[in-house]
A and B are shown apart, each in its own frame.
Chain A
Amino acid sequence: MGEKKVVLEVKGLKTSFFTDDGEVPAVDNVDFQIRQGEVLGIVGESGCGKSVTSLSIMGLVPSPPGKITGGEILFQDKDLTKLKEKQMRQVRGNDVAMIFQEPMTSLNPLFTIGDQLREAVKIHKRDWSKKQIQERAVEMMGLVGLPRPEALMKNYPHQLSGGMRQRVMIAMALLCDPKVLIADEPTTALDVTIQAQILKLIKGLNDRLDMAVLMITHDLGVVAETCERVIVMYAGKVVEEGPVRTIFKNPQHPYTKGLLASVPDMRFKKDRLYSIPGNVPKPGTIKTGCKFAARCEFAFDRCLVENPELYQTEEAHQTRCFLYDEKEVKPDERTFVKS
């Protein structure tokens, strides 16, 4: 898989929100790459910066108060952060498409499904005839498994169920053959049996169209089921990155370990769930040291003063934790911090 070419690269991305309380960094120095045909997961709890990362890629960070303050987003030799809005519009929906959590709020209730699908094609394919546009829309609706596409196109969004609406959103995202599909919590609002259908659809499209998928979710089950690689984010930073199998089997960062241990597993009953003490910190409140130190049971003196880097621990596996720093002092020489 390593031979496939990188389609999207994020380098040192920083996105901040400027509020009355000053600058609040939501995404802080995030790096990652997505290769062609790969499903990359970004997982984390609310406020970790996973959605802001995806909005930054799409150039959709609400501004003001938000702003990309540093870093590059490289797509086909272009830096998306430097593009003007007009140029960005060429990329958005055409090369990089996105689907959102709540399909009802992303569809316009006043227009039919057909109107909305045709409009999306029209914007990017100016020279297409009406017939071509119609055919393309019907084709995509068939591809995502919607029955009777022609009849359905005359319907309004409220006439469809949640699962069907999400299929329409996916069809709309695929209209222009994007290279990258960003799915931001695509199944969170859906029931489990519908979720299973939609995840299967996304995975199938990824295989068939060789399209890269960036799957943003808080659900570790969804990650395990769909992704090949995963990035774990905490308080705006990537804390761990690696292949899904490795991370679930051998999590290294104390946060990843805690997160995996706190999910109730349906297959067997644990007497007691592990729970990470404390709360997710408000963005911007922790200025120095590791952002997780206050909740970490392994935290020692160095964690409070220095920022850990991402340390390479295995092939393709990186962890932002001093425990994996080779220069780190031996366990018995550390001064542990009481959390």
Chain B
Amino acid sequence: MNEPLLRVEGLKKYFPIRSGLFSRVSGQVKAVDDVSFVVNEGETLGIVGESGCGKSTTGRMLMRLLDPTEGKMQFNGKDMMKLSDSEMRAARRDIQMVFQDPYASLNPRHTVERILMEPLNVHNIGKPEDRKKKVYDLLEIVGLSAYHAKRYPHQFSGGQRQRIGIARALMTNPKLIIADEPVSALDVSIQAQVLNLMQDLQEELNLTYIFIAHDLGVVRHISDRVAVMYLGQMVELTDSETLYDKPLHPYTQALLSAVPVPDPEFEREQVVISGDVPSPANPPSGCRFHTRCPFRMDICDKVVPKFAEVQSGHSVACHLYEESRPQ
């Protein structure tokens, strides 16, 4: 295997909580707390988790839309943390983002042509006369037509708007696309169209995806490897086949068994975990899942479990597997 396209080590993001008369910092929300992973070229890494687990914050830090509190990020051999603002802007050409809400992420006052042209103008790509052609080409690629270029976002349906969002991300020929809940605002029949489009584009353009979503079915469908996050930390990471068929972490097991399956004949043992996700401002000691874990041991509220491999390519952060770890 070559050097991975993206390598993230010990990524952290703490948001200060301010209170009182002088807005003194009285605490910290540990939105992302020590997350490490790699993304290889041409693959799709899915990141799943419930609300507040830090999956979107992770995505935003990779785009450097948020500055990490701590951690290392290496993209394509370059250390992303050491880049100046202008170098970062150039690097963003290779990393683009697709957002959840196609209604909110497109400027309603601009035509589609202007929306799609913008990245080219910002990054100064191509001659002005070629830019128009590129806009029309990409509209065709994402399944729209050249005549759509003169229209405004409100004239499109939700699925079409998400296609425009994808086209905008592709304008700069990026290597990596971070898609944050790209299909969760769409109806099922439209969702399938957009997922298929993303898969086709990946094959044609050799794209790498980080696919952030809460829908476990969608993530399995599109991902090669999947990471599960809970309260700002990664609890399990492996290829999607293994994760869905033989999940190791109790949280992954509970999460998978909680998803309603569209098959009334399907019977399973449900691990319904009780209670709510604790507040990330005051996370439980030791393993963060211990307050809801059905297999809790004495050690769990005292020692933070290491996130490390138990089998080749299968990392888990859980004390249950401490002994089966290779040295």
Contact of B220 with A191 in the complex, beta carbons under 8 Å:
no
Complex Cα spacing A248 to B192, Å: 18
Pick the most buried of A221, A260, A269, A273: most chain B CB atoms within 10 A of its CB. Answer: A273
Minimum distance in angstroms from A287 CB to a CB of chain B:
20
Contact of A265 among B261, B265, B272 (CB under 8 A): B261
For chain B, which range describes its interface: under 10, 10 to 19, 20 to 34, or 35 or more residues?
35 or more
Contact of A221 with B189 in the complex, beta carbons under 8 Å:
no
A5 in the interface (beta carbon within 8 A): no
A196 in the interface (beta carbon within 8 A): yes
User: What chain B residues lie within 8 Å of A266 (beta carbons)?
Assistant: 216-217, 220, 244, 256, 259, 261
Closest to A48 in B: B187
Contact of A275 with B189 in the complex, beta carbons under 8 Å:
yes
User: What chain A residues lie within 8 Å of B199 (beta carbons)?
Assistant: 272
A163 in the interface (beta carbon within 8 A): yes
Minimum distance in angstroms from B324 CB to a CB of chain A:
26
B147 in the interface (beta carbon within 8 A): no
Contact of A264 with B260 in the complex, beta carbons under 8 Å:
no
Proximity string of chain B (230-253) to chain A, C-beta cutoff 8 Å, 1 when within and 0 when not: 000000000011001000000000
Complex Cα spacing A226 to B262, Å: 11
Minimum distance in angstroms from B244 CB to a CB of chain A:
6
User: What chain B residues lie within 8 Å of A223 (beta carbons)?
Assistant: 262
Complex Cα spacing A224 to B265, Å: 8
Complex Cα spacing A218 to B199, Å: 24
Closest to A45 in B: B187
Closest to A261 in B: B192
User: What chain B residues lie within 8 Å of A304 (beta carbons)?
Assistant: none
Contact of B262 among A164, A224, A275 (CB under 8 A): A224
Minimum distance in angstroms from A160 CB to a CB of chain B:
9
User: What chain B residues lie within 8 Å of A259 (beta carbons)?
Assistant: 188-189
Given known contacts A164-B276, A275-B193, A262 and B188 CB-to-CB distance under 8 angstroms: yes
For chain A, which range describes its interface: under 10, 10 to 19, 20 to 34, or 35 or more residues?
35 or more
User: What chain A residues lie within 8 Å of B215 (beta carbons)?
Assistant: 264
Contact of A260 with B262 in the complex, beta carbons under 8 Å:
yes
Complex Cα spacing A193 to B259, Å: 8
Contact of A46 with B187 in the complex, beta carbons under 8 Å:
yes
Given known contacts A192-B255, A262-B188, A279-B159, A273 and B195 CB-to-CB distance under 8 angstroms: yes
A286 in the interface (beta carbon within 8 A): no
Complex Cα spacing A279 to B220, Å: 25
Q: Which residues 265-287 of A have a CB within 8 angstroms of B? A: 265-267, 269-270, 272-277, 279-280
Given known contacts A279-B157, A280-B187, A267 and B265 CB-to-CB distance under 8 angstroms: no
Complex Cα spacing A196 to B273, Å: 9
Complex Cα spacing A260 to B189, Å: 9
Contact of A221 with B262 in the complex, beta carbons under 8 Å:
yes
User: What chain B residues lie within 8 Å of A239 (beta carbons)?
Assistant: none
User: What chain A residues lie within 8 Å of B260 (beta carbons)?
Assistant: 195-196, 199, 219, 221-222, 224-226
A residues with a Cβ closer than 8 A to B are 45-46, 161, 163-164, 191-197, 199-200, 218-226, 244-245, 248-249, 258-260, 262-267, 269-270, 272-277, 279-280
B residues with a Cβ closer than 8 A to A are 50-51, 157, 159-160, 187-193, 195-196, 199, 214-218, 220-221, 240-241, 244, 254-266, 270, 272-274, 276-277
19 additional A-B pairs beyond A264-B221, A269-B220, A275-B189, beta carbons within 8 Å, are A45-B188, A191-B51, A191-B277, A193-B254, A194-B276, A195-B258, A196-B258, A196-B272, A219-B260, A224-B264, A225-B261, A260-B262, A262-B192, A263-B217, A264-B195, A266-B220, A272-B196, A273-B196, A280-B187
